[in-house]
């Protein structure tokens, strides 16, 4: 029986043939594609010719392409249009994929060949892109322990399995602590200040738990509005303390020992691989390069942001004093910030939304891309899609050269995960004299239009669309030889540059005038609205910056040095916070024991990258501001030096090629209003 996933796609632009693909096709297609990929790897290993760049590195790079294609289709569907059946298939497939990838990275014969080529890298006359590819391939093995003796290899595997258990337990404990707490309210008086929707949701939770009244939990959709709007200070305190005490209480869900075990195991792992610390290991593959660079970066921002933060804290304290609060505590922060913001900028979301009809914003981002990068977007209805809400476009340049296929999928529905993201159904590469162009997709969850009302976006949704479109440009304009170096395949702390850069156009009059028109009257958005958007986006920026910096410093402090002498999680944490604390410390609270980003997710030694990316985009946009936001010379340069180049060179080199110098923090501080 024919399996459409395994045949050559005879669709327009060879796009994924969604109308023919049934769920039953996936598993056999995966199994077959893994088999093909294994044969390709075996052909490399069994090649009798002396290993060279072509027969080993390039062959490895272009192996498993069928598998990649099937994986991207399947896992994109699992995010945007999943079902119980698809999730079941994912469960069955994932171990097969892990096993296959281990088969490659732990394959001694394959590594031997890669190493032989790497050893003569200087004699090979490679292009810079080829050199990067060879170095990456070699490092993939080495960073996974390929150079170690057998006993160290065994140690490494043991630590890896210990780490994955610790991470799992860390997350389970937080989840248990989150579910075990509830704030049960039976007096309507205690709900004062809360928005109706929050109260309704709390009532629903109570009903589910077969209780009277209202129940609030430590889940964000319940916790955040409670802390922002509840007038009852004692209850806010109760919630905040419960939130901060997660996995730091005297019970079996305590994460203190797990934190210590995690950082010590990570350190040991890094040492075995020959690195000074876990951060040294991680940052080798980042633009920031070393923990010292990260700390210097964070400290520089700290020095500049702190005076502003102290001033803001003072004015927030004074504001709260009028309400009878003598000493501002953590549980007052969100509440009085919101009140003060409202007093300073009386701009309601509802006033802005009519200017951001979804269709107009899409036109806007297309027009901006046209003015900057000469791109044209034509809707093509003959391309197969996985859902009726999806729209498909052929993307060309102004000389009608085919650039990419773009999918957009904007509305929430059952089976689609929350949030917004850019992804691809097919990457870009050059092979056999052909430049094989990418198929890029943007997935969001915006309000769906009704029969009487179009989809009107909040300003936050507008910047989200521009953000994801920035990633999409990085994917669509990719122009490299090797797929693993193409588009958004770049270092983690570099990947947000195109996306965050594009957000800047949402704040500029010249760009907004292209599309921000009232959906009924057609009138352009008033200038004072734009001013208010800009000003309110910098509200309490000093305090927020300080908070982000404190997390980044905590992360690098845990992972950048030998942790063997650390005894108390709380004491260690406090010592790293000493320059960033504005609020009084809460004795029985701890950040680290529930800091999932760095102890459960993949952000260890990477928390700084949020600020790092902001510095990059502000510094890059400053060049546009100096020369005009639609200056063709600058935008062409950005395209040629960054968007088309993917990960073919070190990101700092790419950036310097664009900007003429390394980024510095001033543009961000200026944009954030922190530079006096
Ligand atoms: Zn992003």
Q: Which two tokens stand for residue 231?
A: 């007038």
DSSP letter at 441 equals: E
For residue 534, how far is its CA from the centre of ligand 1 (angstroms)? 21
Which position has the token pair 């996306």?
499
Neighbours of 527 (CB within 10 A): 11
Whether 247 and 255 have beta carbons less than 8 Å apart is answered as: yes
Write down the mean pLDDT value for the chain.
95
Nearest by Cα to 243 from 229, 259, 226, 256: 226
Name the residue with higher pLDDT: 125 or 102: 125
For residue 418, how far is its CA from the centre of ligand 1 (angstroms)? 14
Q: What is the pLDDT of residue 527?
A: 86
| Structure confidence at residue 570 as a pLDDT band (50, 70, 90) | very high
For residue 556, how far is its CA from the centre of ligand 1 (angstroms)? 22
Is 80 exceeded by the pLDDT of residue 674? yes
Measure the CA dihedral 556/560/563/566, to 10°.
Answer: -40
Which position has the token pair 């390929």?
146
| Structure confidence at residue 593 as a pLDDT band (50, 70, 90) | very high
Backbone Cα Rg of the chain? 26
What are the backbone dihedrals phi and psi of residue 21, each rounded to the nearest 5 degrees, phi first?
-80, 125
| Structure confidence at residue 147 as a pLDDT band (50, 70, 90) | very high
What tens digit of pLDDT does each residue of 214-272 get? 999 999 889 999 999 999 999 999 999 999 999 999 999 999 999 999 999 999 999 99
What are the backbone dihedrals phi and psi of residue 183, each rounded to the nearest 5 degrees, phi first?
-105, 110
Lowest-confidence segment of 82-86, 128-132, 140-144, 414-418 by average pLDDT = 414-418
The helix/strand/coil state of 430 is strand
For residue 600, how far is its CA from the centre of ligand 1 (angstroms)? 20
Q: What is the pLDDT of residue 534?
A: 86
For residue 377, how far is its CA from the centre of ligand 1 (angstroms)? 22
When pLDDT is averaged across residues 293-305 and rounded to a whole number, the result is: 96
| Structure confidence at residue 197 as a pLDDT band (50, 70, 90) | confident
Neighbours of 142 (CB within 10 A): 17
What tens digit of pLDDT does each residue of 18-69 get? 999 999 999 999 999 999 999 999 999 999 999 999 999 999 999 999 999 9
Q: Which residues are close to ligand 1, an ion, with C-beta < 5 A?
A: 499
| Structure confidence at residue 461 as a pLDDT band (50, 70, 90) | very high
Name the residue with higher pLDDT: 551 or 534: 551
Pairing of strands 439-443, 421-426: antiparallel
Burial class (CB in 10 A: 0-12, 13-18, 19+), 674: buried
Helix or strand (DSSP H, E) at 378: strand 375-379
The helix/strand/coil state of 517 is strand
For residue 496, how far is its CA from the centre of ligand 1 (angstroms)? 5
DSSP letter at 376 equals: E
Query: Is the pTM here over 0.75, yes or no?
Result: yes
Q: How far apart are CA 426 and CA 648, in angstroms?
A: 19
For residue 298, how far is its CA from the centre of ligand 1 (angstroms)? 21
Q: What is the pLDDT of residue 17?
A: 97
Query: Cα 489 vs. chain centroid, distance in angstroms?
Result: 13
Measure the CA dihedral 526/527/533/538, to 10°.
Answer: -170
For residue 651, how far is its CA from the centre of ligand 1 (angstroms)? 17
When pLDDT is averaged across residues 503-518 and rounded to a whole number, the result is: 96
Measure the CA dihedral 498/141/276/610, to 10°.
Answer: 20
Q: What is the pLDDT of residue 448?
A: 85
Burial class (CB in 10 A: 0-12, 13-18, 19+), 141: buried
Helix or strand (DSSP H, E) at 407: strand 402-409
Neighbours of 503 (CB within 10 A): 19
Nearest by Cα to 310 from 549, 548, 543, 551: 543
DSSP 177-234: HHHH--EEE--GGGGTT--HHHHHHHHHHHHHTT-SSEEE-SSHHHHHHHHHH---HH
Q: Which two tokens stand for residue 267?
A: 């350190």
For residue 563, how far is its CA from the centre of ligand 1 (angstroms)? 32
Q: What is the pLDDT of residue 348?
A: 76
When pLDDT is averaged across residues 157-179 and rounded to a whole number, the result is: 94
Is 90 exceeded by the pLDDT of residue 192? yes
Q: Which residues are catalytic?
A: 468
Helix or strand (DSSP H, E) at 93: helix 84-105
Pairing of strands 421-426, 214-216: unpaired
Q: Which two tokens stand for residue 190?
A: 């205690």
Nearest by Cα to 262 from 548, 612, 603: 603
What tens digit of pLDDT does each residue of 302-360 get? 999 999 999 999 999 999 999 999 999 999 999 999 999 989 988 777 889 999 999 99
Q: Given its phi and psi angles, is residue 432 left (phi above 0), alpha (psi -120 to 50 degrees) or beta?
A: left
Q: How far apart are CA 515 and CA 624, in angstroms?
A: 20
Helices (H) and strands (E) in the chain, counts: 27, 9
């Amino acid at each position: 029986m024919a399996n459409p996933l395994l045949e050559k796609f005879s669709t327009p632009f060879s796009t994924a043939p969604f109308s023919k693909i049934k769920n039953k096709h996936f598993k056999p297609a995966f199994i077959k594609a893994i088999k093909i990929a294994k044969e390709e790897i075996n052909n490399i290993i069994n090649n009798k010719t002396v290993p060279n760049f072509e027969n080993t590195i390039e062959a490895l790079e272009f192996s498993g392409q069928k598998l990649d294609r099937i994986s991207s289709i399947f896992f994109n569907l699992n995010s945007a249009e999943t079902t119980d059946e698809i999730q079941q298939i994912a469960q069955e497939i994932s171990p097969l994929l892990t096993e296959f990838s281990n088969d490659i990275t732990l394959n001694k014969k394959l590594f031997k060949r890669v190493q032989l080529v790497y050893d003569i890298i200087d004699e090979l006359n490679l292009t810079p892109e080829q050199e990067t590819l060879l170095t990456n391939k070699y490092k993939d093995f080495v960073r996974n322990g390929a150079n170690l003796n057998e006993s160290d290899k065994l140690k490494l595997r043991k630590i890896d399995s210990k780490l994955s258990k610790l991470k799992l337990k860390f997350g389970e404990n937080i989840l248990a602590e989150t579910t075990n707490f509830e704030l049960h309210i039976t007096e309507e008086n205690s709900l004062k200040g809360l928005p109706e929707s929050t109260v309704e949701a709390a009532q629903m939770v109570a009903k589910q738990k077969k209780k009277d009244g209202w129940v609030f939990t430590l889940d964000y959709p319940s916790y955040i509005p409670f802390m922002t709007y509840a007038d009852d200070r004692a209850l806010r305190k109760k919630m905040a303390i419960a939130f901060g005490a997660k996995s730091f209480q005297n019970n079996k869900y305590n994460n203190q020992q797990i934190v210590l075990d995690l950082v010590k195991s990570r350190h040991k792992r890094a040492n075995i691989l020959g690195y000074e610390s876990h951060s040294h290991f991680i940052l080798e593959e980042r633009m920031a390069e070393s923990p010292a660079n990260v700390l210097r970066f964070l400290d520089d921002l700290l020095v500049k942001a702190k005076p502003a933060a102290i001033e803001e804290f003072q004015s927030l304290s004074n504001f709260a004093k009028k309400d009878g609060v003598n000493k501002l505590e953590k549980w007052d922060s969100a509440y009085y910030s919101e009140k003060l913001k409202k007093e300073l900028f009386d701009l309601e979301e509802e006033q802005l939304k009519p200017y951001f009809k979804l269709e107009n914003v899409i036109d806007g981002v297309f027009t901006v891309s046209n003015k900057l990068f000469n791109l044209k977007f034509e809707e093509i209805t003959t391309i197969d899609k996985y859902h009726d809400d999806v729209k498909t476009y052929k993307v060309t340049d102004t000389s009608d050269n085919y650039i990419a296929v773009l999918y957009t999928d904007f509305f929430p529905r059952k089976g689609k995960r929350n949030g917004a993201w850019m992804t691809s159904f097919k990457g870009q590469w050059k092979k056999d004299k052909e430049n094989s162009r990418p198929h890029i997709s943007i997935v969001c969850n915006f309000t769906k239009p009704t029969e009487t009302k179009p989809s009107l976006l909040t300003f936050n949704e507008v910047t989200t669309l521009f953000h994801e479109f920035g990633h999409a440009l990085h994917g669509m304009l990719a122009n490299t030889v090797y797929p693993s170096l193409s588009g958004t395949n770049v270092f983690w702390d570099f990947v947000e540059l195109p996306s965050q850069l594009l957000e800047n156009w949402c704040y500029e009059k010249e760009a907004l005038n292209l599309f921000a028109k009232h959906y009924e009257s057609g009138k352009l958005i008033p200038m004072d609205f734009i001013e208010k958007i800009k000003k309110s986006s910098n509200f309490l920026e000093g305090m927020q910056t300080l908070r982000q910096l404190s997390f980044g410093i905590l992360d690098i402090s845990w992972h950048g040095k030998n942790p063997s002498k650390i005894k108390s999680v709380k004491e260690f944490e406090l010592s790293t916070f000493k320059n960033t604390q504005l609020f009084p410390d809460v004795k029985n609270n701890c950040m680290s024991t529930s800091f999932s980003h760095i102890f459960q997710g993949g952000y260890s030694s990477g928390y700084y990258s949020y600020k790092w990316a902001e510095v990059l985009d502000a510094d890059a946009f400053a060049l546009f501001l100096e020369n005009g936001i639609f200056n063709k010379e600058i935008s062409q340069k950005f395209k040629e030096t960054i968007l088309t180049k993917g990960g073919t060179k070190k990101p700092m080199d790419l950036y310097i090629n664009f900007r003429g110098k390394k980024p510095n923090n001033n543009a961000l501080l200026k944009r954030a209003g922190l530079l006096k």
